[in-house]
Structure 1
Amino acid sequence: MAHAAIFGFSPEEALADTHFQINMLTANYDELEDRYESAKREIIELRSQLATARGDQEKLEAELSDLKQKSAPSVEFPEAAELLNQLKADRKKSTASLADVESILEILEKS
Structure 2
Amino acid sequence: MPLPVYAYRQAGYDLLARRQLRARGLRPGGHDPVAEIRWRRGRRVAYLYDPTRALPVRPMMSGRWRSHAAMMRDRRTCHTCRRDRGYVILRSLGCCWPCAEPPAA
More helix as a share of residues:
1
TM-score, structure 2 as length reference? 0.27
Larger radius of gyration: 1
TM-score, structure 1 as length reference? 0.26
